[in-house]
């Protein structure tokens, strides 16, 4: 479903996966539920819609609808940074498991998602020219 901004109509879906440092399985029970609440709070503040999420003991999957003015790197910076800080403060036991004030491993996985495939988009772009031409990959209409 398309979302609206002040001057945009968009559908920017991203699938994120990020893991705990050392893959320690600590996202259980209270910690997992607290993380879910924190992610919801962070996303709400950034106007990000959570389409689907799953917190596993050692990693997190999120499918998010992100406004086009936010880069995926900025989204991950906010989610990982703020959640790490708050979880370490709320659960002192995590300080023993994760020294250095970071609970998340460096990096993350991100992929875009949409209603159409690359093949459909490529065909749409290719068919914009009314007169067929030989330059198959990148056309200029005169």
pTM: 0.82
Identify whether 124 is a catalytic site residue: yes
What's the total number of domains in the chain? 1
Digit-coded pLDDT (tens) for 12-25: 999 999 999 999 99
Quote the Cα angle for 101-106-108, to 5°.
Answer: 130
DSSP H stretches of helix in 63-117: 72-90, 93-97
**pLDDT at residue 136, as a whole number:** 54
Digit-coded pLDDT (tens) for 84-132: 999 999 999 898 888 777 899 999 999 998 776 667 767 766 776 555 5
Expressed as residue numbers, the domain containing 13 is 3-114
Least confident of 32-46, 50-64, 104-118: 104-118
Please enumerate in sequence order all residues whose Cβ is within 8 A of that of 1, keeping only pairs 6 or more positions apart, or say none.
11
**pLDDT at residue 141, as a whole number:** 44
Residue 87 located in a structural domain: yes
Residue 125 located in a structural domain: no
Which one is catalytic: 14, 22, 33, 124? 124
d(C-alpha 136, C-alpha 32), whole Å: 50
- Give me the CATH number covering residue 21: 3.30.70.1290
């Amino acid at each position: 479903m398309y979302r609206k901004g002040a001057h945009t109509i968009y559908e920017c879906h991203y699938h994120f996966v990020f893991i705990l440092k050392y893959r320690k399985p600590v996202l259980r029970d209270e910690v997992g539920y607290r993380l879910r609440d924190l992610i919801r709070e962070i996303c709400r503040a950034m106007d990000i819609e959570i389409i689907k999420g799953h917190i596993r003991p050692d990693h997190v999957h999120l499918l998010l609808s992100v406004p086009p003015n936010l880069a995926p790197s900025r989204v991950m910076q906010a989610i990982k940074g703020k959640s790490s800080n708050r979880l370490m403060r709320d659960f002192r036991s995590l300080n023993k498991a994760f020294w250095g004030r970071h609970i998340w491993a460096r990096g993350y996985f991100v992929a875009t998602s949409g209603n159409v495939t690359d093949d459909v988009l490529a065909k749409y772009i290719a068919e914009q020219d009314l007169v067929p031409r030989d330059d198959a990959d990148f056309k200029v209409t005169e």
